[in-house]
Amino acid sequence: MYNKLLYIMHKALKKIRLSAIKNSKIHWTSKVESGTSFINSVMGKHSFCGYNCEITNADIGSFCSIANGVVIGGGMHPTDWLSTSPVFYSGRDSVKAKFSSHERIAPKKVSIGHDVWIGQNALIKQGVNIGIGAVIGMGSVVTKDVAPYAIVAGCPAKTIKSRFDKDLCEQLLSSEWWDIEDSILLQHGQLIRDPKSFIESLNK
């Protein structure tokens, strides 16, 4: 009983922190967990983002699963200036001093396709495009674009394999199943473990 009470208290404390959402649009069927910062971003239907994530300037598709501690996008320090310190560029920062107020180049958007799974503590650099159906391994550092249905992992992230063969990948992309009505998905949901049968059923 004591352990159960501690567990409930722990879950309540995680939830009570809430999430910081600004200039963003999240589909009503999707969820951003507490402790997460979700800024200048969009999330499609039936997607979720776990606890303690930092997501900035990202377009996230439908049916995406983003684990805890993931960092997506964000700004970069100028490396071609005399200094990379924020005391030389405009905006509020951790340090108070300002010796100049030059504008930095605006951060690039991150594009995350539909049905993408991003593992815990993955880092995704600004400007990266992650294809539909891709899987990003936990702890990965993604600095380059990821192809549809590719499974990548490592630092920097490299392709390990594809989830499906080329023909099936093309069929899935052509089906655009993520855009069909929920009522139709409900009819075909029992076939989700067999992608080929699922596509055949949709095409009937």
Active site residue 77: yes
Residue 129, burial from CB neighbour count under 10 angstroms (0-12, 13-18, 19+): middle
Q: With beta carbons less than 8 A apart as the criterion, state whether 140 and 160 touch.
A: no
Residue 87 CB coordination number (10 Å): 13
Instruction: Beginning with the edge strand found earlier in the chain, give each strand of the sheet holding 110-112 in spatial order.
Output: 25-26, 42-43, 58-60, 110-112, 129-130
Q: Among 10, 27, 46, 77, which one carries the catalytic annotation?
A: 77
Show which residues are catalytic: 77
